[in-house]
Structure 1
Amino acid sequence: MNVSSVMTPNPACCIATTPLRDVAKMMLDNDCGQIPVVDESQRPIGVVTDRDIAVRIVAEGRDASQAKAADAMSMPVRTVTADTSLKDAVCVMEADQIRRVPVVDSDGKLAGIVSIADLALANRPEATAEVVREVSEPARH
């Protein structure tokens, strides 16, 4: 089984200059916690998570009304391809301690996102438990 069989296709995305308020609204509208940031060719250059907004903008006392996606985004972005096996996607998520990973097509353009929830919905409880355990560990430095 590969990533394309469980990923959320055509996810909402933004560009680096998208106002952060719009990014947060995308999260609300799409019931998600991560928005990929893409370049003019639709290739992922980073991601903005709800935690990024809380930690990099709100907790630092920055003016969220003036912030852009680039101000909060995590980079570099880790991606997998649509034909990546679920096992390999799980390894990426564990190694990087991430709960979601953007999926790119053969040209490197954003095609989807695979998340812990996608693994759970695909009846992969062992993979889901493994990823949750690994990403929940304190950050490795």
Structure 2
Amino acid sequence: MFVADLMTSQLRCLKETDSLADAVAAMQELFIRHIPVLDADGRLAGLVTQRDVLALEHKKDPGTPLRDIMRSDVATVAPDTPLRTAAETMIFHKYGCLPVVAAGNLVGIITETDFLKLAIFPIAPRREG
């Protein structure tokens, strides 16, 4: 199985110019813990996590642009990355998610929750043909 088999492709992304308050609102509204941040060209620029937001919520102005607080050194995987490789990367580096990038474009995200769902609700392998 590959990352493409498990990743979430319906993403809620924000822009670098969106604010910390926008990130908080999106996380609360959608019950998510990771939000990819896109640059003006629509490419992955960084990531804002719930942990980041909680650490900054009372230290930063809610209007602070995400470009000032996002993580920009984000590890990514490709859709054809084996699930085991993605899981090992997440475990060894203690990442809660990995954005999925193909040809320079963000196409999905794989999270710890996706792996938990797989453990509880296994999916049938794809059939060729």
Per the alignment, residue 114 of structure 2 pairs with 118
Per the alignment, residue 39 of structure 1 pairs with 39
1: CA distance, partners of 2:92 / 2:72: 15
Change (3 A) 1:49 1:114: same
**Percent identity among equivalent residues?**
32
Per the alignment, residue 58 of structure 1 pairs with 57
Per the alignment, residue 12 of structure 1 pairs with 12
2: CA distance, partners of 1:46 / 1:92: 18
1: CA distance, partners of 2:48 / 2:116: 23
> What RMSD over aligned residues (CA atoms) do the two structures have, in Å?
1.8
Unmatched runs of 5 consecutive residues or more in structure 1: 125-141
Could you tell which deviates more after superposition, 25-34 or 83-92? 25-34
Which has a greater percent of helix? Answer: 1
Unmatched runs of 5 consecutive residues or more in structure 2: 121-129
Per the alignment, residue 97 of structure 2 pairs with 100
1: CA distance, partners of 2:71 / 2:80: 24
1: CA distance, partners of 2:117 / 2:60: 37
Per the alignment, residue 125 of structure 2 pairs with none
Normalising by structure 2, we get a TM-score of 0.84
Query: Offset at 1:95?
Result: 3.0
Residue 83 in structure 1 maps to residue 80 in structure 2: yes
Deviations 1:86-139 (A, max 9, x none): 01101221232111111112x121111101110111127xxxxxxxxxxxxxxx
Query: Offset at 1:7?
Result: 0.7
